[in-house]
């Protein structure tokens, strides 16, 4: 009993620390979107520049997430990487307040992306190992969905906009260094150095170093999650990058009204960030992902046609469900599909390829399209990404433990649901 209590205590402590860690990642990542209307004129930035700034961060995020995730699996090193990454991206975010033009801003955003990329696969790998099976979806949803929403989209907009209006956009960037250093201290103090490995690494000869990704690509769920990552990140990155500017320039909202709408979006992010994964624990990963992807497709349509700021705020609360879906295809389903020895590799690959397509290519195209056809076009691109995600999710193989147990009780047989393995996941 004491062991169980200690395990539950560490599970909650780890969740709290990693919640703050990944939440602050998105506070910094989204800061550019919220501050762009304040800095565009001074630095002579266009919609194309905004798209490229989002894209370079996503490209760096993709490369480092995939490579560092695989490296951490081979070496079993996670905690030191988290600490270094948090300090580095906090410094780069602060240095963004000292830039004098587009190129220097582009450089700091690229370095920031390199630092932020490994944080999600490392954090989710730590979280899934510390999670009780019945809380796995909830914990991973709180970490990835609600944390990013609360710090990045609820607290972020009013804080950053207030700082920018009172002291200027440069000070808003510079001040972000302080919480980053405090979070690095929390990781050093409370995260266990490395979860004990109860099985020797030689016990998994089927997963030797260089063959990881080839074996992962034989899994239907991993391939589908990677494709869903590409199109759903298109939905998210376009939406979060261009919505503040769209509301100010196209819908003629004041900065205060824009900040209020973005906070409603953030409230939905927090709510659905843990709500969708929690629902999936009972309903199943596949039907939940299909349903809430379709709802998420309505969000950019609401931005186009909502009649007033208050109505738009309500619609944001109801339709901004996608970040809860992210936890499913980017963390929970892969974690329930592959062995833990290659988990960070799988999560890094899904996130990395998704960031490359949906985070790097898509916003660049969207930025040029916005300059040519108007900002409204990017909302239709975002909608299309969520619709494609719903279609792809139809073909996923169910992995939720509770659902598989119910299926086994209804149709008992000699072969229960297998443990995660690179084999047996066609």
pLDDT tens digits along 348-385? 889 889 988 998 888 889 988 998 999 999 999 999 99
Asked if residue 15 lies in contact with residue 123, where contact means CB atoms within 8 angstroms, the answer is: no
Query: Tell me, what's the pLDDT at 3?
Result: 39
Q: Residue 410, Cβ neighbours under 10 Å: how many? A: 7
Average pLDDT over residues 80-98: 91
d(CA 351, CA 188): 25
pTM: 0.76
Residue 107 lies in a domain: yes
Contact (CB, 8 A) for 137 and 12: no
Residue 382 covered by a domain: yes
- Mean pLDDT calculated for residue range 307-324: 92
% of the chain residues with pLDDT over 70: 90
Query: Which pLDDT value is given to residue 293?
Result: 98
Whether 422 is covered by a domain: the verdict is: no
Return the structure tokens found at 43: 């630095």
Nearest to 115 by CA among 20, 21, 36: 21
Dihedral angle at the C-alpha atoms of 398, 399, 401, 405, nearest 10 degrees? Answer: 40
Encoded tokens for 125: 């790998």
As a whole number, mean pLDDT of residues 254-269 equals: 85
Interval 78-91 mean pLDDT: 91
Tokens of 363: 């916003």
145: nearest Cα among 2, 268, 3, 8: 268
Residue 416 forms part of a structural domain:
no
Residue at token pair 């509301």: 247
CATH, residue 383: 1.20.1250.20
**Domains identified in the chain, total number:** 1
Residues 117-176: pLDDT tens digits?
889 888 888 888 888 777 777 888 888 778 887 888 788 878 888 898 889 999 989 988
Does 413 have pLDDT greater than 70?
A: no
Q: Per the structure block, which two tokens stand in for 411? A: 């149709």
Residue partners of 114: CB distance under 8 A and separation at least 6: 60, 61, 63, 64, 88
Q: Minimal CA–CA distance to 129: which of 79, 182, 92? A: 79
Q: Averaged over 255-274, what is the pLDDT?
A: 86
Q: Per the domain annotation, does 202 fall within a domain?
A: no
Task: Give the distance, in angstroms, between the CA of residue 232 and the centroid of all CA atoms in the same chain.
Answer: 10
Q: Percentage of the chain surpassing pLDDT 90?
A: 35
Cα angle 386-387-391, degrees, rounded to a multiple of 5: 115
Measured distance CA(97)–CA(232) in Å, rounded:
30
Q: What is the pLDDT of residue 213?
A: 60
Question: Would you list the DSSP string of 272-327?
Answer: HHHHHHHHHHHH-HHHHHHHHHHHHTHHHHHHHH-SSHHHHHHHHHHH--HHHHHH
Does residue 303 form part of some domain? yes
**1-45 residue pLDDT tens:** 333 446 668 889 999 999 999 999 888 888 888 888 889 889 998
With CA atoms as reference, report the closest residue to 343 among 186, 219, 187, 202.
219
pLDDT of residue 419: 56
Report which of 297, 290, 361 is spatially closest to residue 329, judged by C-alpha positions.
290
Q: Can you point out the beta strands (E) in 48-89?
A: none
Q: Is 76 helix (H, G, I), strand (E, B) or coil?
A: coil
- Helices and strands: H and E segment counts in the chain: 22, 0
Q: Which residues of 416-426 are buried (b: 16+ CB within 10 A; e: fewer)?
A: eeeebebeebe
DSSP single-letter state for residue 45 = -
419 within a domain of the structure (yes/no): no
For the segment 308-316, the average pLDDT, to the nearest whole number, is 92
**Where would I find the H helices in 44-118?**
47-75, 79-95, 102-116
> Is 60 exceeded by the pLDDT of residue 186?
yes
In the three-class reduction of DSSP (H, G, I as helix; E, B as strand; rest coil), residue 411 is classed as: coil
- Residue 97, token pair as written in the block: 């307040």
Torsions phi, psi of 273, nearest 5?
-60, -35
Which range marks the domain in which residue 77 is found? Answer: 8-192+211-410
Structure tokens at 356: 């490359």
């Amino acid at each position: 009993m004491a062991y169980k209590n200690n395990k539950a205590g560490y599970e909650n402590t780890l969740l709290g620390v990693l919640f703050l860690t990944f939440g602050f990642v998105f506070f910094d990542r989204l800061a550019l979107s919220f501050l762009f209307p304040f800095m565009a004129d001074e630095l002579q930035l266009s919609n194309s520049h905004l798209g490229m700034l989002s894209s370079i961060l996503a490209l760096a995020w993709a490369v480092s997430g995939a490579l560092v995730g695989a490296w951490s699996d081979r070496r079993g090193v996670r905690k030191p990487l988290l600490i270094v990454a948090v300090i580095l991206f906090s410094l780069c975010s602060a240095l963004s307040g000292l830039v004098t033009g587009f190129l220097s801003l582009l450089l700091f955003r690229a370095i920031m992306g390199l630092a932020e990329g490994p944080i999600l696969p490392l954090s989710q790998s730590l979280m899934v190992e510390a999670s009780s099976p019945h809380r796995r979806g909830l914990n991973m949803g709180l970490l990835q969905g609600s944390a990013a929403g609360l710090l990045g989209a609820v607290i972020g907009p009013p804080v950053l906009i207030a700082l920018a209006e009172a002291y200027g956009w440069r000070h808003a960037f510079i001040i972000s260094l302080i919480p980053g250093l405090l979070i690095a201290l929390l990781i050093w103090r409370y995260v266990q150095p490395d979860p004990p490995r109860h099985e020797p690494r030689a016990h998994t000869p089927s997963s030797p170093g260089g063959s990881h990704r080839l074996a992962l690509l034989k899994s239907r769920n991993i391939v589908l999650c990677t494709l869903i990552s590409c199109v759903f990140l298109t939905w998210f990155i376009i939406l979060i990058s261009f919505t503040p500017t769209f509301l100010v320039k196209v819908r003629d909202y004041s900065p205060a009204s824009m900040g209020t709408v973005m906070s409603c979006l953030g409230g939905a992010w927090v709510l659905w960030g843990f709500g969708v994964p929690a629902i999936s624990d009972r309903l199943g990963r596949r039907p939940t992902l299909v349903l809430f992807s379709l709802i998420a497709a309505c969000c950019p349509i609401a931005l186009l046609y909502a009649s007033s700021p208050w109505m738009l705020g309500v619609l944001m609360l109801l339709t901004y469900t996608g970040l809860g879906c992210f936890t499913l295809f980017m963390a929970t389903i892969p974690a329930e599909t592959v062995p833990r020895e290659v988990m960070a590799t799988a999560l890094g690959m899904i996130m990395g390829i998704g960031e490359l397509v949906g985070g790097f290519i898509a916003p660049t195209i969207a930025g040029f399209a916005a300059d040519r056809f108007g900002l409204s076009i990017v909302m239709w691109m975002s909608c299309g990404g969520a619709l494609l995600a719903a279609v792809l999710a139809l073909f996923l193989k169910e992995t939720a433990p509770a659902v598989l147990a119910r299926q086994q009780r209804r149709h008992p047989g000699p072969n229960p649901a297998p443990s995660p393995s690179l084999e047996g996941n066609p």
